[in-house]
């Protein structure tokens, strides 16, 4: 270990200087005065967990939950979330100013406070919509034994609950934090929903792994998706420098009461799937379909083969 110890004493200081120069670029999360007050990702996760505990007491709780003290339990977690989010959102707004993504003159502290208050005041409405999502899961899955089973174990509920929180922050122009929240749900559930996507009530993702829903996607009410569904962009408009143009509609619209089966891919900002349509498994769609459509791949042909166990091939019928 002598060689390593010598390098630590002689070579490491120079490497630290190089890293300091590298980390001084625009990608770090330091403010202009060089300070980072909070661990952004950890704080976002902690706030999100407290909000999930408020929305589903006894299911996401990290401590014993007494049904006799619902108001106290909810109040404590809302205060905890508010305290974290107030500082976290102010940091996010200030970081946006620091890297020149706003016009300047922002009152970041007031913006953060207003956004936190709005989010907390929206929690009763978010809960009401989430209960329609839970009921859709219970009614849409014959394997579901109870509502509690769905909330406790179905990945789609955690992904959608996280999305409905992150979406409110996204609508108020909060940078960084909504994406951190949505990516936590992506990591835990395998379901990738951009916080910008608009999703109606009664939404059910069955199984869920590999589902991707893009930023400008609009989904109506009572829509059901199976695993591996992609609602994505067909292509990206580019500016004169070849960079993707941001802020344009890139992802499809899914109207009310549509079912999309496993592995289907629907692409394009002009693509609209009409209400009460059924999209079959592994379908690739880049154009709109009218209401009450049924879109399926051609069924595979069945071929009977008399197989020769001696390896001489077989004769198809």
- The one-digit pLDDT tens for each residue of the chain (317 residues) are 788 898 888 888 888 888 777 766 545 555 555 444 457 899 999 999 999 999 998 777 666 666 667 888 889 899 999 999 999 999 999 888 776 667 667 889 999 999 999 999 999 999 999 999 999 999 999 999 999 999 999 999 999 999 999 999 999 999 999 999 999 999 999 999 999 999 999 999 999 999 999 999 999 999 999 999 999 999 777 888 778 888 899 999 999 999 999 999 999 999 999 999 999 999 999 999 999 999 999 888 877 777 666 766 555 45
pTM for this predicted structure: 0.86
How far is it, in rounded angstroms, from Cα 203 to Cα 140?
10
Task: Identify the pLDDT of residue 68.
Answer: 67
How far is it, in rounded angstroms, from Cα 28 to Cα 12?
21
Is 234:255 a contact under the CB 8 Å cutoff? no
Q: What are phi and psi of 95, to 5 degrees?
A: -60, -40
Q: Where are the domains of the chain?
A: 36-191, 210-237+245-317
Specify which residues 192 forms β-bridges with: 212
Mapping DSSP to helix (H, G, I), strand (E, B) and coil, where does residue 168 land? helix
CA 81-136-122 angle, to 5 degrees, is: 30
Task: Identify the pLDDT of residue 26.
Answer: 47
Percent of the chain with pLDDT over 70: 87
- CA dist list (Å): 174 to 111, 224, 262: 9, 29, 33
Please compute Rg for the chain using Cα positions. Answer: 25
Task: Identify the pLDDT of residue 246.
Answer: 80
How far is it, in rounded angstroms, from Cα 202 to Cα 217?
16
How far is it, in rounded angstroms, from Cα 171 to Cα 243?
25
The CATH code that applies to domain 36-191 is 1.10.3130.10
The CATH code that applies to domain 210-237+245-317 is 2.160.10.10
Is 171:187 a contact under the CB 8 Å cutoff? no
């Amino acid at each position: 270990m002598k060689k390593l110890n010598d390098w630590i004493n002689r070579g490491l200081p120079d490497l630290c200087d190089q890293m300091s120069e590298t980390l001084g670029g625009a990608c770090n999360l330091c403010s202009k005065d060089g300070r980072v007050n909070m661990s952004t990702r950890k704080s976002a996760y902690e706030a999100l967990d407290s909000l999930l505990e408020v929305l589903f007491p006894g299911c996401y709780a990290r401590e014993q939950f007494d049904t006799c003290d619902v108001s106290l339990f909810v109040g404590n977690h809302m205060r905890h979330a508010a305290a974290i989010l107030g500082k976290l959102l102010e940091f996010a707004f200030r970081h946006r100013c620091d890297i020149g993504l706003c016009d300047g003159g922002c009152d970041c502290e007031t913006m953060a406070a207003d956004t936190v208050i709005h989010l907390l005041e929206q929690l009763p409405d978010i809960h009401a919509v989430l209960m329609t999502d839970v009921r859709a899961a219970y009614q849409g899955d014959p394997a579901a034994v109870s509502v509690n089973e769905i909330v406790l174990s179905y990945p789609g509920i955690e992904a959608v609950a996280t999305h409905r929180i992150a979406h409110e922050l996204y609508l108020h122009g909060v940078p960084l934090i909504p994406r951190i929240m949505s990516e936590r749900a992506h990591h835990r559930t395998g379901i990738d929903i951009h916080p910008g996507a608009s999703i109606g009530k009664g939404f059910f993702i069955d199984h869920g792994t590999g589902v991707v829903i893009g930023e400008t996607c609009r989904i109506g009410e009572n829509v059901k998706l199976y695993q591996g569904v992609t609602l994505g962009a067909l292509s990206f408009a580019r500016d004169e420098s070849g960079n993707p143009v941001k802020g344009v509609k890139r992802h499809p619209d899914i109207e009310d009461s549509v079912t999309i089966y496993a592995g289907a891919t629907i692409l394009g900002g002009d693509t609209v799937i009409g209400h009460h349509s059924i999209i079959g498994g592994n379908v690739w769609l880049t154009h709109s379909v009218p209401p009450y459509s049924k879109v399926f791949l051609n069924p595979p042909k069945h071929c009977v083969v008399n197989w020769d166990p001696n390896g001489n091939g077989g004769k198809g019928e």
